[in-house]
Chains A and B, each alone.
Chain A
Amino acid sequence: MNWSEIKNLQSISQKEIPFFPADKFFSDIIESVKNGRRLLNYFGISESDKVKIYCLIADDELSKIFIAYTELNRGESYSSLTIDIPASHLFERELFEQCGIIPEGHPWLKPVRKGIAGINPNETQYEFFKMLGEEVHEVAVGPIHAGIIEPGHFRFSAHGELVHNLEIQLGFQHRGVEKLFVKNDNILYQTKLAESIAGDSVIAHSGTFLRAVESLMNINVSKRVKITRAVMLELERIAVHLGDLSAISNDIAYLTGNSIFGALRTLIINTSMNICGNRFGRGMMKPGGVNFDIDETKRKSLIDTINKVNNDIQIAVDVMFSSASVMERLEKTGIVSKETAIAIGMVGMAARASGISIDARVDHPFGAYQFFPIHKLTLDSGDVFARSYIRFIEIQQSVKIINDLLADFQKGELTVGKNEMQKESFVVSVTEGWRGEIVHCLLTDETGRIKNIKIKDPSFNNWFAIALAVREEGISDFPLCNKSFNLSYCGFDL
């Protein structure tokens, strides 16, 4: 395969991305995925009637990314990849919706973000999957759900309590994020926009975007900045994992866990506020560095807090996971097997809970992880228990990472000067957020401005896993399964 070989955050000229005729392009993709590589991103860019289709394939073991493109006319079709690579089903649906390229033979070419049933009477209404049978009934949930949560539609085909099929239709949150990045050529605005792609991954998304920009500007941030950013990213991970343990406890009416993990989360997000003035890390990141320093006082209080939290979690977790009534709800609920997880291209924490060894901090290291190696954590059972317990061990790991990083926290520049971005270039930035890998692909035009940005939140890979996890489960376990993934609606809808 003579595709261009790059690394995470390595910017290249667009001329270096090889073009292949469609036949070779698609057969190369199928062959490399069959050989154990992974679809990292796959998207189209329309230029008048022509559509350039880019594909990025990750080799996680070699820490390499392969890239190439092909060109088709709008309305043209090709033989769908989904039959050979189930993980590509959503990428192909998106390509069809955004660029009008038809993946011939796609099993289910339904809307991603547009033309959703019941929203716009002028658009053709999409018909949900129907199960026939006298005693099969449908349960429609959403877009507005019972709690304080983002909107999305869930359609269950059930037989009594038993769920046979769940169809998830998203798109309600679509805000046109990618277009706004291109429309407003102002790096400050773009940074704030990146912070708002998903409100629970502020540091992860803004960091992904800024590292891409810094690579295109050809600037290197100081070691202190890299460590500060990594500390904030790990704090974000600890905070959300704690919040989720609290919410999972709530969903199984284990109120002790709900209270304790909730209160511990408050301590962590207040630590973020102590550093940057915002509980979710907003305002922390800027191009070329960070806006706020972790001075000696703040460093000490941060370490005291995370160590206290780590200690208290241990006490709470011991009680929680030794309770039979808790384990009865978590174990063997919502299983996603390793084979399924690989086939549908799951990423991040949920994939690790199904036994896949995948973590961008190790596979495609960025920032501080380039000089601070960590090890990957996996569990095998792929059930709600695994997705809960992995949160606990990842919190412990994050606490250790922060402690170690801050033990050698030397002075350094908080900001380095900005440059113009390289013209007609391309860069891919991959970050392991708490949910999984975030991928931003940036292309610049002949003046060095952002011409296209393609954002992939880990939710994009993982939503389909929820649909599979609840099959043959009781419908009453759906909230628990859903919470064990805690996927982003906004991150998917953009």
Chain B
Amino acid sequence: MFDLIKARKNHGYQAIKNIADAKILSEHRGFPVIDESKLNGNVESIINSCPTKAISDKPLAINLGKCIFCGECEKISYGAIKFSNNYKIGCDSEKKLAVDSSVTYEKFLDSAIEAKKEIHKIFGRSLKLRQVSAAGCNGCEMELNACGNVNFDMGRFGIDFVASPKHADGIVITGPVSKNMSKALSDAYESISEPKIVIATGACAISGGLFADSKEINRTFFNNVKVDLFIPGCPPHPLVIINAILKFLE
């Protein structure tokens, strides 16, 4: 009994008090800062360096939904692309995923996730989510699980993952959606009652990521279903995930 108390005391208080202002290591690769003036005639090699074809030219832009934040482009860009450790990179529309030199972090934050009255009214104090891994590699899944651990403790904001889609207010999708999971994903989505929200987590779910041109992938689900919240990353850090959802509910 005393040993147990000792172990608990040694464990101490672990939760990050202020999630919105939490510090993250400078090594973390978050929001990219683009400075076209530093381009050195090397646009083509920068574009080709990207394993997921996330970089486009004129203007030089990174698509956060395709980016796996590997930092390969940064290494050869002479400062034209620099990954900051800013982690509030979730957004609410596909257009906003494209970041060029005109989009600073502050500007991105201004409009990344726009408050919607009805979302706040319905889900603002309690949001129950069903997670579906559709060929996710377990990276995003581990980070979604970590959102509920003692450090990040997402439950304190009224956001929980539930077992049944019938109990859920929305679906969190990870993975590029394999052919073999496409039916189960649709079934789970259909089982959630209206109104419901859709959250795509990680490069694979948003764009197919590294698997975009595999024949074993079937992304037709997204032809009929509108994604409400995009959470970029490979995988996104729990701070990315929680802050995106909190902002969405504001």
> B8: which A residues are within 8 A, CB to CB?
256
Contact A283 B70 (CB under 8 A): yes
A149 to B75, CA, bound (A): 34
Q: A197-B137, A198-B138, A199-B137 are in contact. Are A147 and B161 (CB under 8 A)?
A: yes
* The one of B4, B27, B214, B234 that contacts A275, using a Cβ cutoff of 8 Å: B27
B49 within 8 A of A: yes
> A283: which B residues are within 8 A, CB to CB?
29, 69-71
> B170: which A residues are within 8 A, CB to CB?
none
> B237: which A residues are within 8 A, CB to CB?
279
Q: Enumerate B213-243 residues with CB–CB distance to A below 8 Å.
A: 213-217, 234-235, 237
Contact B7 A315 (CB under 8 A): yes
Contact A262 B10 (CB under 8 A): no
Q: Enumerate A118-152 residues with CB–CB distance to B below 8 Å.
A: 118-120, 143-144, 146-151
> Separation in Å of the A126 CB from the closest CB of chain B?
13
A192 within 8 A of B: yes
Nearest B residue (CB) for A272: B27
B211 within 8 A of A: yes
> B132: which A residues are within 8 A, CB to CB?
144, 151
> Separation in Å of the A383 CB from the closest CB of chain B?
24
> Separation in Å of the A189 CB from the closest CB of chain B?
4
* The one of A196, A243, A263 that contacts B139, using a Cβ cutoff of 8 Å: A196
Contact A179 B214 (CB under 8 A): yes
Contact B216 A266 (CB under 8 A): no
A490 within 8 A of B: yes
Chain A contact-residue range equals 35 or more
Question: What does the 1/0 interface line of A314-328 toward B look like (CB < 8 Å)?
Answer: 011011001000000
B141 within 8 A of A: yes
Contact B214 A180 (CB under 8 A): yes
Question: What does the 1/0 interface line of A250-291 toward B look like (CB < 8 Å)?
Answer: 000000100110110010001001111111101100000001
> A404: which B residues are within 8 A, CB to CB?
none
Contact B6 A199 (CB under 8 A): no
> B180: which A residues are within 8 A, CB to CB?
113, 116, 119, 171-174, 493
Nearest A residue (CB) for B191: A144
* Chain B CB within 10 A, most for which of A146, A173, A273: A173
Nearest B residue (CB) for A188: B51
Contact B181 A148 (CB under 8 A): no
A312 within 8 A of B: yes
Q: A176-B215, A192-B68 are in contact. Are A278 and B137 (CB under 8 A)?
A: no
B178 within 8 A of A: yes
Q: A148-B161, A175-B216 are in contact. Are A270 and B25 (CB under 8 A)?
A: yes
Contact A274 B25 (CB under 8 A): yes
> A196: which B residues are within 8 A, CB to CB?
137, 139, 209-210
Of the 9-residue stretches B35-43, B94-102, B143-151, which lies at the interface with chain A?
Answer: B143-151
Q: A147-B163, A148-B145, A312-B10 are in contact. Are A180 and B210 (CB under 8 A)?
A: yes
* Chain A CB within 10 A, most for which of B6, B209, B210: B210
Q: A149-B133, A256-B7 are in contact. Are A172 and B181 (CB under 8 A)?
A: yes
* Chain A CB within 10 A, most for which of B8, B140, B180, B188: B180
> B149: which A residues are within 8 A, CB to CB?
246, 259, 262-263, 266
Question: What does the 1/0 interface line of A192-224 toward B look like (CB < 8 Å)?
Answer: 110011111010000000000000000000000
Contact A175 B141 (CB under 8 A): no
* The one of A146, A192, A263, A489 that contacts B51, using a Cβ cutoff of 8 Å: A192
A119 to B149, CA, bound (A): 34
* The one of B27, B133, B215, B216 that contacts A277, using a Cβ cutoff of 8 Å: B27
A447 to B5, CA, bound (A): 65
A88 within 8 A of B: no
A44 to B203, CA, bound (A): 33
Contact B210 A189 (CB under 8 A): yes
A186 within 8 A of B: yes
Q: A175-B178, A277-B28 are in contact. Are A148 and B11 (CB under 8 A)?
A: no
> Separation in Å of the A281 CB from the closest CB of chain B?
11
Contact A199 B136 (CB under 8 A): yes
B80 within 8 A of A: no
* The one of A198, A278, A322 that contacts B29, using a Cβ cutoff of 8 Å: A278
* The one of B4, B28, B140, B181 that contacts A173, using a Cβ cutoff of 8 Å: B181
A488 within 8 A of B: yes
> B68: which A residues are within 8 A, CB to CB?
192, 282
> Separation in Å of the B218 CB from the closest CB of chain A?
11
A50 to B71, CA, bound (A): 43
> A277: which B residues are within 8 A, CB to CB?
25, 27-29, 69, 71, 83
Nearest A residue (CB) for B163: A146
Contact A319 B7 (CB under 8 A): yes
* The one of A118, A149, A312 that contacts B141, using a Cβ cutoff of 8 Å: A149
B176 within 8 A of A: yes
Q: Given A196-B210, A259-B149, A277-B69, 11 other A-B contacts at CB below 8 A? A: A172-B184, A175-B214, A196-B139, A199-B138, A270-B25, A282-B68, A282-B234, A291-B75, A312-B11, A315-B10, A490-B135
A sample of 11 cross-chain residue pairs with beta-carbon separation below 8 angstroms, ordered by A number, consists of A148-B161, A151-B132, A175-B178, A175-B217, A176-B214, A196-B137, A266-B14, A266-B151, A277-B25, A282-B68, A490-B135
Interface residue ranges, B against A (CB under 8 Å): 3-4, 6-8, 10-11, 14, 25, 27-29, 49, 51-52, 68-72, 75, 83, 131-146, 149-151, 161, 163, 175-176, 178-181, 183-184, 188, 209-211, 213-217, 234-235, 237
> Which A-B residue pairs are the 5 nearest by beta carbons?
A199-B139, A176-B216, A199-B137, A199-B138, A146-B163
